[in-house]
Chain A
């Protein structure tokens, strides 16, 4: 990556990983569960849906569980963790001057293309995360640390999917 990580002054990944591991442990120790992200995003999305189309929410079983009738999808720790993630990410970016409107992309494609691909990737991710009942934070990191077989299987599937497709979409990321 031609020194990209150094130029951006990102932490050594082993250091970041160790700190994250300690945080993950503390999370289990204090709260009995690990970290999570997609569940919080899920609930916020459902909450917005509930504002716009409440009758539909009541009728669809999967979302009714979260927001049907009187239920408040936002009254759950995952939502607060997501808010925290936003604040923490912002704080870190602010401290190092990385809060800047920008589009990260491979050199061969344009900003607009990148946005489209980001949207498509995001959609797949959102769908896949619900199917797997978690994302890399909730399932892979947290489930992995407490030895859940499903989480490990999930983790390897994610890597398999990514590596499997990588060569076919290299134009998105690689130099010419």
Chain B
């Protein structure tokens, strides 16, 4: 039957613990090892902590100052917010490059609504809802017309960007004076953005883990056909996630405008999508669908923020920072892939059993051929 009982004996090798260590310790190490393997967020959290210790121990005292933490928090906020949308989409097997261009457009749209006499709060809400329609477009083109979402959102991204540049004449504009007061809650104050981001991460974490919507998102990304055959309306799920992603992009753009105190047509764009993607991927979200975590993405963006802040404080040039970021992505991804492979084999020795069934299949086939007393020509 199953190899469940094997798991316990097998895991010491996996975690690297010595099976005959001093009394009690193998069990502890094994337990920690399993926690580490099972919680996808665990490994990236460890890396985040190690980075803190590194910058502290390697003589960058300013790293542990209020100003430095504000820097990290301000860096994280917008990336985490669009990261939420990207994780939702990656989990259901899609991607959205246009979210960065929605970010560029949204403060202009908000400005328009405030100019036409709407109160700031209402203007923000309407902007977010209106721009989530870009997600509707992305979702419909992707699911109904079957265009890969990478292409769909590349197209819609340029479309949105072009419209933004046209209506703004590619000029910066100031925020409407009457909006600045409320704007303090929307990115104007130093900590407001990361608070928005973190609260949203918690809400969407619950959405992904504890609601039917979340389950169906995972199901659509994990096994599209199977999900559809279970009666799940996968297109609706995907379209909804595209819309949430665009809405979050609109919110991030507005927060950034209030933070920088300017509405800038060069804000957002593709670069911010790539940073958020890096955070999501480092945090343990798979590109292939079915796997992803909001908390992991939050920590992934934190790691990027720590690197940014730490190297800035040490006076390392931003060019070198890019080299380090790039290498970090590659290294984390290799480790993540390796860990998830261990996860697969660790729990139930899945790889060995599938190898076993393949061998069995071959044996069965031989037996069947022998049974027939002739060599059949098989094949559809």
Query: Does chain A bind chain B?
Result: no
Please list the residues of chain B having a beta carbon within 8 angstroms of any beta carbon in chain A.
none
